[in-house]
Amino acid sequence: MVGKWAISAYDSTDTRNSKKTNQCATTMGTERDATSWSKGRLRELLVGITVENEAGRCEISELKQVEGEASCSSRKGKLIFFYEWNIKLGWKGIIRESGAKHKGLIEIPSLSEENEVDDTEVNVSKKKGDGDILKDLMKTAGTAKVREALGDYLKALKTEFTMGMILPTKAMAAQELTVERKLSENTLQIQASSRVALGVRIPTVALHMTELFDTAIEQLYRIFTVKDLVQKFSKSPAVLEAEKGGKFQMFDGNITGEYTELLTNKKIVMKWRCRNWPEEHYAIVALNFVPTLQQTELQLDCKGVPVCEEENMKFCWQKQHFEEIKGLLQLTTLNG
């Protein structure tokens, strides 16, 4: 199970060709959907930007809207990028002298590969009333920082997201396979059942994460095994058969898998995959529930994650799983 990726690379949107297969190490002429990964990265880079001067201080406080799509294609050994975004941000500020607070919007109507970042349109507005001094600050220093963040997003799209996308030639593949056979299992995990074109095996990594939750172990276990609770924290439909051999499907089918072990209030083990992973490739996700003083520690161990999805997985579990679950727990407490 995993959050809305963004944070999440698990968006099912592909308006151009739903038959294309996304893979970590893609075959020539295939495409990877970067839509959800991009939404998470844009949020991370834009929300929290601050600017200030002697007159006041402003901060981008909210990502109100991010509409569009992004993808990367491998064509004859070259990477081709497509992205088109309509972004709306909320900002707030305070005037130093009077202490007056004001709010406004930043709209980026068209971030695309057709324009340079420095030429991207950034429109700043605010609610009626005084406070134009803050609006001017956002128009100047704020706009510059927004464009800088957009540039960082594009750099990440063209480097971090595309790791492993250019498929090696047959000669390179044979050489790489020879090298892989010599690698220690401690430095690289190879999933024998997951192969891509030319016989190149998929390099994988293992992840370990821990998180503390202010709730009883029984409640935290239920959040991962009760359909209604899963739908609440993931904010999307889910299908769950929480029993050994039972299937699960989340986020409009972008995450699927099977329960392989369930020890009530102690442990959950799953075969787990994202739709854009190489066909038939599964990771093994183990959740261990450990009681502590008035809290529950969740220990996550995940083996078999494609190398190029490592950062996406970490971001997804931390932001769209752990933080969303904590929000649900707070809501439950407030509602009694």
> Domain of 237: which CATH number?
3.30.530.20
Q: Is residue 128 part of a domain?
A: yes
Q: Is residue 198 part of a domain?
A: no
Domain span at residue 140 reads 30-158
Count of alpha carbons within 13 angstroms of residue 49, beta-carbon side:
25
Q: Is residue 110 part of a domain?
A: yes
Q: Are 117 and 149 in contact (CB under 8 A)?
A: no
Same domain (yes/no): 211, 324: yes
Same domain (yes/no): 39, 124: yes
Same domain (yes/no): 224, 127: no
Q: How high is the pLDDT of residue 1?
A: 47
Instruction: Give the total number of structural domains in the chain.
Output: 2
Same domain (yes/no): 262, 319: yes
Which residues on adjacent β-strands are paired with residue 257? 248, 272
Same domain (yes/no): 325, 212: yes
Residue 314 to residue 295: CA distance in whole angstroms: 22
Same domain (yes/no): 232, 143: no
For residue 129, count other CB atoms closer than 10 A to its CB: 8
Residue 97 to residue 56: CA distance in whole angstroms: 8
Q: How high is the pLDDT of residue 76?
A: 63
Q: How high is the pLDDT of residue 335?
A: 56
Q: How high is the pLDDT of residue 101?
A: 92
Q: Is residue 21 part of a domain?
A: no
Q: Are 24 and 308 in contact (CB under 8 A)?
A: yes
Same domain (yes/no): 153, 80: yes
Same domain (yes/no): 143, 255: no
- Residue 58, domain CATH: 3.15.10.20
Distances in Å between the Cα of 215 and the Cα atoms of 151, 219, 221, 299 are: 41, 7, 10, 15
Q: Please say which residue of 158, 175, 192 terminates a domain.
A: 158
Q: Is residue 124 part of a domain?
A: yes
Same domain (yes/no): 250, 143: no
Q: Please say which residue of 123, 158, 193 terminates a domain.
A: 158
Same domain (yes/no): 66, 143: yes
Q: How high is the pLDDT of residue 274?
A: 85
Q: Is residue 246 part of a domain?
A: yes
pLDDT in tens, 290-323: 998 889 999 999 999 888 888 888 887 888 789 9
Q: Is residue 289 part of a domain?
A: yes
Q: Please say which residue of 133, 158, 183 terminates a domain.
A: 158
- List helix spans (H) across the chain: 35-46, 132-137, 143-158, 170-182, 217-225, 227-234, 310-315, 323-334
Answer yes or no: pTM beyond 0.75. no
Residue 313 to residue 302: CA distance in whole angstroms: 10
Positions in the chain whose pLDDT score sits under 70? 1-31, 75-77, 162-201, 333-336
Q: Is residue 189 part of a domain?
A: no
Same domain (yes/no): 230, 312: yes
Same domain (yes/no): 219, 285: yes
Q: Are 82 and 105 in contact (CB under 8 A)?
A: no
